[in-house]
Amino acid sequence: MKRKLVVGNWKMNGDLVRNQALLEQLVRHELAAVERAVCVPFPYLAQAQAALAGTPVALGAQNLCEFDDGAFTGEVSARMLREFGCRYVIVGHSERRSLFGEDDAMVARKTAKALAAGLIPIVCVGESLAEREAGQVEAVLQRQLDALRTELTPAALAELVIAYEPVWAIGTGRAASPEQVQAVLAFIRAWLGEHGGAVRILYGGSVKPDTARELFSLPDADGGLIGGASLVAGQFIEICEAGASASHSA
Ligand code: 13P
């Protein structure tokens, strides 16, 4: 059995009361056949660290600074994330790329910082709708992946988790079709085979309880990165269960 990885990305959502209820429901639900993690907003790291301590649900953050420390107002370093017990950090989410100006080179530098601090980066890649319609999916993915090689050795590349998140499928309720997803995951797998080795590859973009099982069972899918549905305990648990049953058949 190869255990799937299901990661919740809360984005900029939550409050102390709702978080506590959500975290308590997640940890009460035992699911050995799937690896689970939640990536919470920075101010809630301490709360989530306490709620998840001693449980199999891992903690992650959604971003980090490319520098170690110093005069970088408003930024959070990899070391700080480690201090709060983070195992994962999302790097280069499309919202960071499109809304906060993160380019491929910065994503690569942040990825290197995360690895150096002992975090597992979940590096997001994916094309926009315009790029897909222009037939540029592979070219975009190639560019995003190649940028990682400028900062990372092949051994470091092998430590990553890659999340394929087509921009047009994020938050739209319109997940990519299993055929579209598998084609891109296979492309990423081949690129990694050439340059780094085996890493886990996730799919993200409107994954819901009713689509999760099929998406997680694709030959090159190692799990999923879940946005909206990770905020609803029942939905996230169902998606994790889909991950567990896909693990059994992997
Ligand atoms: P949704 O699941 O809300 O589409 O978000 C996906 C995502 O961006 C996860 O990082």
| DSSP-derived secondary structure for 13-72 | ---HHHHHHHHHHHHHS--TTEEEEEE--GGGHHHHHHHHTTSSEEEEES---SSSSSS-
Give yes or no for residue 98 CB within 6 A of ligand 1.
no
CA nearest neighbour of 209 among 190, 230, 186, 181: 230
Instruction: Provide the percentage of residues in the chain whose pLDDT is more than 70.
Output: 100
Give yes or no for residue 215 CB within 6 A of ligand 1.
no
3 to 26, 35, 133, 174, 249: CA distances (angstroms): 18, 7, 34, 26, 10
Residue 113 CA to ligand 1 center (angstroms) comes to 24
Please give the mean pLDDT across all residues of the chain.
Answer: 96
Give yes or no for residue 212 CB within 6 A of ligand 1.
no
Q: Which residue has the tokens 């990899």?
A: 78
Res. 249: pLDDT tops 90: no
Give yes or no for residue 122 CB within 6 A of ligand 1.
no
- For residue 231, the 8-state DSSP code is G
82 to 91, 131, 163: CA distances (angstroms): 15, 36, 21
Q: Which residue has the tokens 């309880």?
A: 209
Res. 223: pLDDT tops 80: yes
What is the tally of structural domains in the chain? 1
Tokens of 159: 């430590």
CA nearest neighbour of 188 among 179, 201, 178, 176: 201
Res. 147: pLDDT tops 90: yes
Tokens of 32: 């050995």
Mutate to test the pocket of ligand 1, among 10, 164, 225 (most ligand atoms within 8 A of CB): 225
Q: Binning pLDDT at 50, 70 and 90, where does residue 198 land? A: confident
Domain harbouring 69, CATH code:
3.20.20.70
Residue 173 CA to ligand 1 center (angstroms) comes to 9
93 catalytically annotated: yes
Mutate to test the pocket of ligand 1, among 170, 181, 207, 210 (most ligand atoms within 8 A of CB): 170
Residue 157 CA to ligand 1 center (angstroms) comes to 24
Question: Which ligand 1 atom minimizes the distance to the CA of 170?
Answer: 4
Residue 167 CA to ligand 1 center (angstroms) comes to 9
195 catalytically annotated: no
Span 148-166, pLDDT tens digits: 999 999 999 999 999 999 9
Inter-axis angle of helices 233-249 and 16-28, to 10 degrees? 30
- Rounded Cα gap, residues 34 and 237, in angstroms: 11
**Which domain covers residue 149, as residue numbers?**
4-85+92-249
How much is the pTM?
Answer: 0.97
- Rounded Cα gap, residues 191 and 83, in angstroms: 33
Give yes or no for residue 205 CB within 6 A of ligand 1.
yes
Span 16-34, pLDDT tens digits: 999 999 999 999 998 999 9
Span 85-102, pLDDT tens digits: 999 999 999 999 999 999
Instruction: Provide the percentage of residues in the chain whose pLDDT is more than 90.
Output: 94
Span 51-89, pLDDT tens digits: 999 999 999 999 999 999 999 999 999 999 999 999 999
Beta strands in 52-199, from DSSP E residues, in sequence order: 57-61, 88-91, 120-125, 161-164
CB-based contacts of 226: which residues, under 8 Å, 6+ apart?
6, 7, 8, 9, 204, 207, 236, 239
- Rounded Cα gap, residues 69 and 110, in angstroms: 13
Q: Binning pLDDT at 50, 70 and 90, where does residue 250 land? A: confident
Give yes or no for residue 227 CB within 6 A of ligand 1.
yes
